[in-house]
Amino acid sequence: MASVKADRIIDKWATIVEQAAGKGEYIYTVLDTELTKANIPQVTWSRGDVNMGMMTRSREFLIIKNAGLREYTVYVHARDVGSHLDCGWFLTVEPGMFKKAFSKHMTGDPNALSQSLGFFSQQDLSAWTHIVHRTFLRIVKDLMGDLDLDITGMNTTSKGFLSVW
């Protein structure tokens, strides 16, 4: 089981699909198919439970990792909230204990050294998260279209480190 703390979330996106409760499995299935087609180098994914630390309840997410950027993980969710479907993702940075302590000592921010990426790593992180975001967004928009919901006012940008659009 993965554990995610709020201070590790560096980017996120979410929307509510009205009257779409019960469609989460559809989202996960189509996303799995589309990620397979995308064939993103070094990227793997699996479904798993995520909590916020010991003794907290968990929720199911699609956990997406990149072997070349091991400190970064995307957590995708599609969960019922009443009669609606909450769809979104979180990008986290999870430095190791030594790097986190050193970074906090040197900069005051435990994630600063992990977010200071080289040019190629920035390029890879940007490409990987953009592909996941755009694919997920397209799937959500398609579902909304199937339900005859208006997508014109839907927020398509993320809020955070990368500001994925």
Give tens-digit pLDDT for 23-74.
999 999 999 999 999 999 999 999 999 998 777 889 999 999 999 999 899 9
- Helix (H) or strand (E) run with residue 11 in it: strand 9-17
Q: Using H for helix, E for strand and C for coil, what is the string for 133-149?
A: HHHHHHHHHHHHHHCCC
Among the listed ranges 10-14, 70-74, 102-106, which one has the minimum average pLDDT value? 102-106
- Helix (H) or strand (E) run with residue 7 in it: none
Domain residue extents for the chain: 2-156
- Helix 24-38, helix 119-146: angle, nearest 10: 140
Please determine, for residue 126, whether its predicted confidence score (pLDDT) is greater than 50: yes
* 2-156: in CATH 3.10.180: no
Please determine, for residue 114, whether its predicted confidence score (pLDDT) is greater than 50: yes
What's this model's pTM, rounded to 2 decimal places?
0.89
Burial class of residue 164 in the structure, from the number of CB atoms within 10 Å of its CB (0-12 exposed, 13-18 middle, 19+ buried): buried
